[in-house]
Structures are given as C-alpha cells and as structure tokens.
C-alpha cells in the first residue's frame, strides 16, 4: 500500500493559528500523506506561531493573508502562482465574529457585526475559490471548508456565526455547481465542538463540550485528528465522485432529536 498517496501534490491551507487549529491537524495529515503545503497567517502574532509549525512539516511557503482584503488575497495567489504554478487543493479553515455578537441576544446583532462575520466566515470561501480556480490544472482540484451544526439548528451563543455558516454551506453548493466543469470539487466538514482559539470566543463552550460527549452516539468528543482524516479523504482522489456535500464529523450528534 502507498503510504504517500498525495506525493507530488500541493495544497494551500488557510487558518492555522496554533497547534490546536483544525487547519494544523489537516496540514499534518496532508504532509504525512506526502503533500507539499503552503500556510498563511493573518497578522504578526499568528505568524510567530505559524512559522515554527510550518518548519515541522517542512513547508517552504508561508505567506500573509487577510481574507477581508482583496489586495491581500490577490498577492497570496500571485505568489503561489509564481512559486508553484498550480495547486491541487485548498483548505479554508477561517472564521471570525465579534464576541459581543455571539453572546448577546440574536435580535440585537449589529450591522457591522453581521457584516464582519459573514465577510470573514462565508464570503472568503467564494473569494478564495475564485482565485484558486485558475491555479488548478486540467485534473481539477479539491476545496474544503469547515462548518458547524449551528448553520442548520439553533445552538445557544452561536448566533451570528450560525447565519454565517448557513451562508457558507449554501456557498459550498453553489461553488460546487459553478466549478464542477473544471473538475474542481467543493465540500464542507461539519465538525463537532473542539477546544480551539476560535471556539474560546463562544460563551459556555465548556458546557457544550460536556453535553456533547454525553449525548453523541459515540459518547465522546471529536478530536482534531477525526476532522483531519475526513479532510484528507476529501482532499484526495479517493473522494473523486463527491462534491457539494456537507459531511458531519461529530460522533453522530446531529442525528439525535432529544
Ligand atoms: P482557529 O482559531 O485555530 O482557526 C481560525 C482561523 O481563522 C485562525 O487561524 C485565524 O487566524 C483565522 N482568521 C480569522 N480571521 C481571519 C482573516 N480576516 N483572514 C485570514 N484568517 C483569519 O480555530 P478552529 O476551531 O480551528 O477554526 C477553524 C474553522 O473550523 C472555522 O471555520 C471554525 O468555525 C470551524 N469549526 C470549528 C469548530 C470547533 O469547535 N473548533 C467546530 C466546527 C467548525
């Protein structure tokens, strides 16, 4: 059996902030499968954490990218084109909402808060996919993003991020339809709750984790590796016939009614 199935393939990963990031687990899985990985950082503080992690997986390409800026996205893809020419896939693992728009009443979400959450967490997938398309070869490619059950059901304290994730999930379907002719697949993983930097902004997240482990059919919490292994499947030719899907990696939590 080939244990380097992605050898010779190149992936862009957006969203590594630290060693707890889902994007970091996915990066390690990609590198373990023989792929080359480019990482991005949104600011200097994140850059200081990302560079040593990049070195761990021998990643030679570490570039700035703020998904709220078209100039920043253009510069990222121009640099990738000049370094690599083509890419085989993209991991979009980016989200942000102001803390006050998570904890407050839903009907009090502010216009700026709504705008920033939707811009960073949903529009950015469209912005990234549109720029990735010309870098993908005739063999196409695979784009994945990360979503959460709060897109489809009401989860306390998820609020504006639930609406952003609903827009993200709809964007996955529209992008899949738009990019299918180029053999570019677009899928999302709906992960169960995991303690990360982004999750720390959600009030009472600890309680959510505790309830999850009791109620999920598999009676445990999700790990970064659970997510990474499914991501690897979606980023590899093993999933060549799948696009536009939202796949729950949540120990079965989403099937439970009460
Ligand atoms: P994380 O904090 O490690 O990752 C979030 C990333 O978004 C960070 O690297 C951050 O730098 C980046 N980011 C924020 N604003 C940005 C911007 N303007 N430009 C570029 N990058 C920006 O947390 P995580 O939990 O690994 O989150 C990754 C993804 O997984 C998110 O989309 C999140 O909603 C999703 N998700 C997380 C969970 C969970 O419980 N942790 C569950 C389901 C889905």
Listed in sequence order, the DSSP H helices in the chain are 22-32, 44-56, 70-84, 100-103, 111-118, 124-132, 159-179, 205-215, 224-235
Q: Ligand 1, residue 148: give the atom nearest the CA.
A: 43
Asked whether residue 49 is domain-assigned, the answer is yes
Global model pTM greater than 0.95: yes
CA distance 112 to 145: 24
Q: Encode pLDDT of 87-105 as tens digits.
A: 999 999 999 999 989 988 9
- The pLDDT of residue 135 is above 70: yes
Looking at the CA of residue 94, tell me the nearest atom of ligand 1: 7
Catalytic residue among 148, 174, 234, 253: 148
**Closest residue by CA, ligand 1 atom 13:** 94
Mutation choice for ligand 1 from 77, 93, 125, 159, CB with most ligand atoms inside 8 A: 93
pLDDT recorded at residue 258: 85
Q: In the prediction, which pLDDT does 138 show? A: 86
Give the domain range for residue 37.
10-248
Q: Which CATH number goes with the domain that contains 78? A: 3.40.50.720
Q: With bands split at pLDDT 50, 70 and 90, how would you rate the model's confidence at 187? A: very high
d(CA 100, CA 149): 20
pLDDT at 3: 82
Determine, yes or no, domain membership for 67.
Answer: yes
Q: Would residue 3 count as lying in a domain?
A: no
pLDDT digits (tens, 9 = 90+) for 192-225: 999 999 999 899 999 999 999 999 999 999 999 9
7 Cα: distance to centroid of ligand 1 (angstroms): 27
Report whether pLDDT(1) > 70: no
| Rounded CA separation 253/217 (Å) | 6
Residue of 11, 158, 234, 253 with catalytic role = 158
The number of domains in the chain is 1
Q: Tell me if 69 is assigned to some domain.
A: yes
Known active-site residue 41: no
253 domain-assigned: no
- Ligand 1 centroid vs 94 CA: distance in angstroms? 4
Q: Note whether residue 132 is domain-resident.
A: yes
Active site residue 148: yes
In a domain, 5, yes or no: no
Domain-embedded: residue 1: no
More confident residue, 2 or 153: 153
90 Cα: distance to centroid of ligand 1 (angstroms):
15
């Amino acid at each position: 059996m080939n244990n380097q199935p992605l050898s010779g393939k190149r992936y862009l990963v957006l969203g590594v902030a630290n060693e707890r990031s889902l994007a970091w687990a996915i990066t390690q899985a990609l590198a373990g499968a023989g792929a080359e990985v480019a990482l991005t950082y949104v600011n200097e503080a994140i850059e200081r954490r990302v560079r040593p992690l990049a070195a761990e997986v021998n990643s030679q390409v570490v570039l700035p990218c703020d998904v709220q800026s078209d100039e920043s996205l253009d510069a990222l893809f121009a640099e990738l084109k000049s370094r690599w020419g083509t890419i085989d896939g993209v991991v979009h693992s980016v989200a942000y909402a102001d803390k006050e728009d998570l904890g407050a009443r839903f009907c009090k979400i502010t216009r700026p808060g709504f705008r920033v959450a939707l811009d960073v967490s949903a529009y950015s997938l469209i912005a990234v996919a549109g720029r990735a398309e010309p870098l993908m070869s005739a063999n196409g490619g695979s784009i994945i993003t990360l979503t959460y059950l709060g897109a489809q059901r009401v989860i306390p304290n998820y609020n504006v991020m639930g609406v952003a994730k609903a827009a993200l999930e709809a964007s996955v379907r529209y992008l899949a339809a738009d990019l299918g002719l180029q053999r570019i697949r677009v899928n999302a993983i709906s992960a169960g709750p995991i303690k990360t930097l982004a999750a720390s902004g959600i009030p009472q997240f600890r309680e959510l984790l505790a309830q999850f482990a009791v109620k999920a059919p598999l009676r445990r919490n999700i790990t970064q590796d659970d997510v990474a292994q499914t991501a690897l499947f979606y980023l590899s030719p093993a999933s060549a016939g799948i696009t536009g899907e939202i796949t729950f990696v949540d120990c079965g939590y989403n099937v439970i009614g009460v």
